[in-house]
Structure 1
Amino acid sequence: MEDNYSRSTPDSIFSRNEAVGSGSRSFLANVFTYMFIALGITAVVAYLFAGNPEQYIAPILSNKLLFYAIMFAPLGFVLLMSFAFNRLSAPVLMALLLVYSAINGISFSFILLTYTATSVFGCFLTAALMFGVMAVMGYTTKQDLTSMGRIMMMGLIGIIIASIVNIFLGSNTMSYIISFIGVIVFTGLTAYDVQKLKRIGEGIDQDGNVIAGDVKKLAIMGALSLYLDFINLFLMLLRLFGRRN
Structure 2
Amino acid sequence: MDNNNNYDWAQKSVFVQQETGVVAKKFFANVFLWMFVALSVSTAVAFYLATNPELLFNFFSAQTGKPNILGWVVMLSPLAISLIMNGGLNRLSYGAIVGLFILFAALLGISLSSILLVYTSASIISCFAAAAGIFGIMAVMGYTTNVDLSKFGPILMVGVVGLIIASVVNVFIQSQNFSLFMAYIGIAIFTALTAYHVQMLKRIGQGIEESGAQMLDTDSKKLAIIGAMSLYVTFINIFMFLLRIFGNRR
Task: State the TM bucket, normalised to the shorter chain.
Answer: 0.7 to 0.9
Unaligned runs of 5+ in 2: 1-17, 62-66
28-37 or 87-96, which deviates more: 87-96
1:150 paired with 2:154, answer yes
Work out the CA distance in 2 between the residues paired with 1:185 and 1:137.
15
Question: Shift of the alpha carbon at 1:211?
Answer: 8.4
1:141 paired with 2:140, answer no
C-alpha contact (below 8 Å) 2:59/2:68 kept by paired residues: yes
Residue in structure 2 matching 1:240, options 218, 238, 245 = 245
1:102 paired with 2:106, answer yes
C-alpha contact (below 8 Å) 1:50/1:112 kept by paired residues: yes
Aligned to 1:45: 45
C-alpha contact (below 8 Å) 2:138/2:194 kept by paired residues: yes
1:224 paired with 2:229, answer yes
* 1:1-245 aligned within 5 A: 17=18, 20-53=20-53, 55-61=54-60, 64-208=68-212, 212-245=217-250
Q: Normalising by structure 2, what TM-score?
A: 0.86
Work out the CA distance in 1 between the residues paired with 2:216 and 2:116.
42
Work out the CA distance in 2 between the residues paired with 1:241 and 1:229.
18
Work out the CA distance in 2 between the residues paired with 1:171 and 1:205.
50
Q: Deviations over 1:112-165 (max 9, x none)?
A: 121000110010000000000000000011110112222211211111111111
For these two proteins, the number of residue pairs brought into alignment is 227
Question: Shift of the alpha carbon at 1:21?
Answer: 2.4
RMSD between superposed Cα atoms in Å: 1.9
> Cα gap change, 1:61/1:220 in structure 2, threshold over 3 Å: closer, same or farther?
same
Q: Which amino acid aligns with 1:49?
A: L
SS at match of 2:114: helix
Work out the CA distance in 1 between the residues paired with 2:132 and 2:23.
26
121-130 or 83-92, which deviates more: 83-92
Question: Shift of the alpha carbon at 1:206?
Answer: 0.9
SS at match of 1:164: helix
User: Could you tell me the percent identity over the aligned residues?
Assistant: 48
Aligned to 1:13: none
Q: Normalising by structure 1, what TM-score?
A: 0.87
Unaligned runs of 5+ in 1: 1-16
Work out the CA distance in 1 between the residues paired with 2:248 and 2:106.
25
Q: Deviations over 1:66-104 (max 9, x none)?
A: 222212211211121122222111111111010110111
Q: Deviations over 1:10-46 (max 9, x none)?
A: xxxxxxx55x422221111000000000000101110
C-alpha contact (below 8 Å) 1:149/1:188 kept by paired residues: no
* Larger Cα-atom Rg: 1
Work out the CA distance in 1 between the residues paired with 2:134 and 2:216.
34
Aligned to 2:13: none
